[in-house]
């Protein structure tokens, strides 16, 4: 399954970098070089993620307009990118509230991993199978204290999912171990029976 990504960046070089880094088998890339093109894409594409460079915004008012447009969409995470020597206004970050702020040049491996993580979070199931026991807050550990409520919930879901996978793996191993013991028992019983039925020699 390929995920739709909108990339708003005026740089032809960055466009080539994104095309090279993001495999077509996993991602469908939709490019915009200015804010008008970005708005047009939002009317025709439902992206999993928007990657937008600060250069497409002439001022904070333009960014605010984009943010208002996003409110009419589903909850779409946004990455804000900027060059190493660009003056990234604090208003941009405050108004956009991006999922990530990436400063170019960034590590492509880390970039890909971050995209996967964000998309996986969006597709995590809201509920897990009934047989999974309820996880209490104290079982998650103190590491989650102070985290936003939504992030705590995501951590809780991940913990439950991990527990379910561990449970299934343990069940498989126990069954395999029991089967081996049963076979050995049957084999031993068969050998003993054959020995007991062997006729005694004449003496």
Cα-Cα-Cα-Cα dihedral of 75, 144, 117, 3, to 10°?
A: -20
Going from N- to C-terminal start, the domains of the chain cover 3-122, 128-194
- Phi and psi torsions of 4, nearest 5°: -85, 130
Encoded tokens for 143: 């590491």
> Mind listing the pLDDT tens digit of every residue in the chain (203 residues)?
789 999 999 999 999 999 999 999 999 999 999 999 999 999 999 899 999 998 888 877 888 888 888 876 667 899 988 887 666 656 667 777 888 888 888 888 889 999 998 888 877 655 444 554 454 444 444 444 555 666 666 666 666 666 666 666 667 677 766 777 677 666 666 655 555 555 555 54
- Phi and psi torsions of 115, nearest 5°: -60, -45
Rounded distance between C-alpha atoms, residue 167 and residue 165, angstroms: 5
Measure CA 24 to chain center: 18
3-class SS of residue 6: strand
pLDDT value of residue 139: 41
Rounded distance between C-alpha atoms, residue 52 and residue 155, angstroms: 27
pLDDT value of residue 68: 82
Question: Whole-model pTM?
Answer: 0.59
Nearest residue to 80 via CA among 54, 110, 57: 54
Give the E-state strand segments of the chain in sequence order.
3-8, 27-32, 49-53, 78-83, 100-104
3-class SS of residue 167: helix
pLDDT digits (tens, 9 = 90+) for 72-129: 666 789 998 888 766 665 666 777 788 888 888 888 888 999 999 888 887 765 544 4
Rounded distance between C-alpha atoms, residue 200 and residue 111, angstroms: 79
Helical residues (DSSP H) of 55-145, grouped into ranges: 60-71, 90-96, 108-122, 137-140
Rounded distance between C-alpha atoms, residue 4 and residue 93, angstroms: 24
Q: Which residues contact 169 (CB under 8 A, 6 or more apart)?
A: none
Nearest residue to 57 via CA among 31, 80, 30, 84: 80
**CATH class for domain 3-122?**
alpha beta
């Amino acid at each position: 399954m390929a995920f739709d990504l909108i990339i708003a960046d005026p740089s032809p070089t960055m466009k080539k970098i994104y095309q090279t880094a993001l495999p077509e088998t996993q991602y469908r890339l939709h490019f915009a070089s200015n804010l008008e093109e970005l708005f047009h894409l939002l009317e025709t594409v439902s992206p999993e993620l928007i990657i937008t460079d600060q250069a497409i915004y002439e001022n904070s008012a333009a960014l605010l307009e984009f943010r208002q447009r996003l409110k009419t969409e589903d909850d779409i995470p946004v990455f804000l990118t900027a060059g190493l020597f660009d003056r990234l206004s604090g208003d941009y970050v405050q108004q956009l509230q991006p999922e990530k702020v990436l400063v170019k040049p960034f590590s492509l491996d880390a970039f890909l991993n971050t995209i996967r993580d964000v998309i996986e979070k969006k597709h995590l199931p809201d509920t897990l199978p009934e047989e999974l026991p309820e996880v209490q807050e104290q079982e998650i550990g103190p590491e989650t204290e102070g985290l936003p409520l939504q992030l705590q919930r995501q951590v809780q879901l991940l913990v439950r999912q991990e527990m379910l996978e561990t449970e299934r793996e343990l069940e498989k191993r126990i069954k395999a171990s029991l089967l081996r013991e049963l076979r050995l028992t049957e084999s031993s019983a068969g050998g003993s029976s054959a020995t007991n039925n062997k006729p005694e020699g004449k003496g």
